[in-house]
A = this chain, B = another copy of it.
Amino acid sequence: MAVGLSDPVNLFPVKGIELASMACGIKSNGRDDLVLIKVNKGATCAATFTKNAFCAAPVTVAKKHLAITNPRALLINSGNANAGTGKLGIRDAEQSCEWLADVLECSANEILPFSTGVIGEPMPMAVLNSGIKAISQLAVEDNWLTAARGIMTTDTIAKAISKQITIKDETITITGIAKGSGMICPNMATMLAFIGTDAKVEKGHLQQCLDKAVARSFNSITVDSDTSTNDACILLASGVSNAGLIEADSEAAEIFAQAVEDICLHLAHAIVRDGEGATKFISINVVSAATLAEARDVAYTIAHSPLVKTALFASDPNWGRILAAVGRAGIENLVLEDVSIYLDDVCIVSGGARDAAYTEEAGQRIMNQSEITIKVILCRGDVSTTIWTTDLSHEYVTINSNYRS
């Protein structure tokens, strides 16, 4: 079902980072549900987390551990979100870190836990315990695709990407994986995404790179407007490359930051392309806004409109629904006559009404595509933004009426 997305290929291992995946019994269907990502001592780590006020227990624990020290390993289970689980959930997340720390002979604070799946169920700690004991034997560097598959829930396809850049004649590798298909409207954070690099980057600088990349990628997508309790994006830098430290504000830093952003954007788009029930990949481009906030308000109002989304599913150039969405976005003193709206290169609205040259045939031609750009020109300033989303299909309703069964 994923729109324009095929199985990841050419994933480069990252020196210093080893991964493993296995089925320990959390998912009832026997699929992989436990993933381990180990990193060498001395690695740095940057992270962003969900801003949902009711964040999951592992998010709380991961934030706390990250504030204390750099991690040696990430432990990710898929199948149970460990969210809405109260004090027991926190204790379970801490316990799983302690178990893994015993195996890896490090401190529990050096383990970051992550969970995704059903909300509100207690963690099955016995199967998790046996899984943790078994999984560390399996960790190898060339295992990113297996890990990408291990963190999937309602995803229909694995999401991963690699990029290599050259700094001081040395090849630096960045590889990332992500999962996410529903409950997707990241708020200053993201769904589960794990990115590794062998670059050597100081922690504060690494966090800057990640924050900027996330704002333009994971924080600019939505499937269903529902911000998850478990979103997290982690960037691990093992630092074992021979290129030496990438200093902030250097040319190398620019190349590195761009590569991180490219990786994040690919993974964010992959999440949208595999959005629950998605049959279309929609870019919403708002230009000449007065502020970034109003550009994003307009873009998200269109992206969240069930009427726009069902029209996109139907390939119906029902542009009145887009116009109505722009009108209700809450922008002060918006002048209808100044606004133009395009479907790809076809102008549908100008001067407050249907564009004089618009034909239903031209609109239909664009709507029949599986990838469409909706462009809204506001004529209020010089700020632009793009966000990405899906249509709303019968399949979305089917998936979310059946998810727990």
Contact A328 B397 (CB under 8 A): no
Kindly state whether residue A23 has any CB partner on chain B within 8 Å.
Answer: no
B contact residues around A227 at 8 Å (CB): 324, 327-328
Kindly state whether residue A106 has any CB partner on chain B within 8 Å.
Answer: no
The complex places the Cα of A351 from the Cα of B89 at a distance, in Å, of 13
Most buried by B among A81, A85, A352: A352
The complex places the Cα of A353 from the Cα of B85 at a distance, in Å, of 5
Contact A403 B226 (CB under 8 A): no
Kindly state whether residue A325 has any CB partner on chain B within 8 Å.
Answer: yes
Proximity string of chain A (361-399) to chain B, C-beta cutoff 8 Å, 1 when within and 0 when not: 000000000000000000000000000000011101110
Contact B53 A331 (CB under 8 A): yes
- Could you tell me the distance in whole angstroms from the C-beta of A58 to the nearest C-beta in chain B? 15
B contact residues around A55 at 8 Å (CB): 327
Chain A residues 345 to 368 lying within 8 A of chain B, measured CB to CB, are 349, 351-354
Question: Which of B226, B305, B321 sits near A307, CB closer than 8 Å?
Answer: B226
Most buried by B among A51, A53, A305: A53
Contact A306 B396 (CB under 8 A): yes
Chain A residues 161 to 204 lying within 8 A of chain B, measured CB to CB, are 182-183, 185, 187
Contact A401 B316 (CB under 8 A): yes
Contact A397 B54 (CB under 8 A): no
**Copies of this protein in the complex:** 2
Contact A397 B400 (CB under 8 A): no
24 A-B Cβ contacts within 8 A?
A: A51-B328, A52-B324, A52-B328, A53-B328, A54-B323, A54-B327, A54-B334, A83-B320, A84-B319, A84-B323, A85-B353, A86-B337, A86-B353, A89-B353, A120-B320, A120-B353, A183-B307, A225-B305, A226-B305, A229-B320, A306-B392, A306-B396, A392-B397, A396-B397
Known A349-B84, A353-B84: A120·B319 in contact at CB below 8 Å: yes
A326 nearest CB neighbor, chain B only: B54
Most buried by B among A228, A324, A403: A324
